[in-house]
């Protein structure tokens, strides 16, 4: 910075080897500061969506470097964190879009279909045996019945759902659904409450 403030005549007095050393030192310092930002990121297995701002700040700092300043930087932690942020965003989107299809089999019997995978590739996986088949009385059949309550118009039940995008990003949540009893044999799609 001080060198840049010199006049052309003053710069001519500085030996080229010193200018090169100064430039190299400035490049190394800029690279070191960015590497410290990258190194401060959480390990891949510990990255959460809450870390997005920190990851984006490290990427923005790296993108401002010149090629000379970026030489020798290790980006593995940054790229892994970015991939995990994308994975967590996919999980969050899939969670928000979770829907189940309820079909009236008969006047007293309703079934619920497994949720389909999200368009972003994330998968909804219900806990084993928790997908209920329930009757109009609120009785549940199956190996691991879920708690279902029913008033005259709706069933309310809670399912344990794991949402994963196929990497280390996955979330297991208890999700409450309220189903208005279908009047016809047509399927009804419901979202989480």
Per-residue pLDDT reduced to its tens digit, 62-121: 999 889 888 888 999 999 999 999 988 888 888 877 777 767 666 666 666 667 777 777
Residue in this structure with the two tokens 């490049």, named with its chain if needed: 27
Q: Higher pLDDT residue, 133 or 90? A: 90
Question: How far from chain centre, in Å, is Cα 30?
Answer: 30
Residues 83 and 22 in one domain: yes
Q: What is the number of domains present in the chain? A: 2
Residues 133 and 55 in one domain: no
- Pick from 69, 94, 119: which residue ends a domain? 94
Residues 9 and 71 in one domain: yes
Q: Which long-range contacts (CB under 8 A, 24 or more apart) does 67-71 make?
A: 68/23, 68/27, 69/27, 69/30, 69/31, 69/34, 70/31, 70/34, 71/27, 71/31
Residue 57 has a pLDDT of 97
C-alpha distances out from residue 122 to 88, 125, 150, 159, 161, Å? 10, 10, 31, 18, 12
Q: Is the pTM of this model over 0.75?
A: no
Residues 109 and 84 in one domain: no
């Amino acid at each position: 910075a001080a060198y840049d403030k010199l006049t052309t005549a003053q710069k001519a007095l500085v030996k080229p080897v010193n200018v090169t050393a100064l430039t190299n030192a400035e490049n190394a310092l800029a690279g070191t500061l960015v590497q410290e930002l990258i190194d401060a990121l959480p390990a891949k297995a510990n990255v959460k969506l809450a870390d997005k701002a920190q990851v984006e700040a490290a990427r923005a700092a790296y993108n401002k470097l010149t090629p000379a300043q970026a030489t020798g930087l290790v980006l593995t932690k940054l790229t892994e964190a970015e991939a995990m942020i994308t994975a967590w965003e996919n999980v969050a989107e899939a969670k928000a879009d979770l829907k189940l299809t309820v079909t009236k089999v008969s006047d007293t019997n309703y079934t619920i279909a497994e949720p389909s995978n999200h368009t972003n590739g994330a998968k909804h996986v219900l806990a084993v045996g928790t997908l209920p088949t329930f009757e109009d009385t609120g009785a549940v059949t199956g190996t691991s019945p879920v708690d279902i309550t029913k008033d005259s118009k709706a069933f309310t039940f809670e399912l344990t759902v794991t949402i994963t995008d196929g990497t280390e990003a996955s979330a297991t949540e208890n999700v409450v659904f309220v189903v208005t009893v279908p009047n016809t044999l047509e399927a009804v799609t419901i979202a989480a409450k």
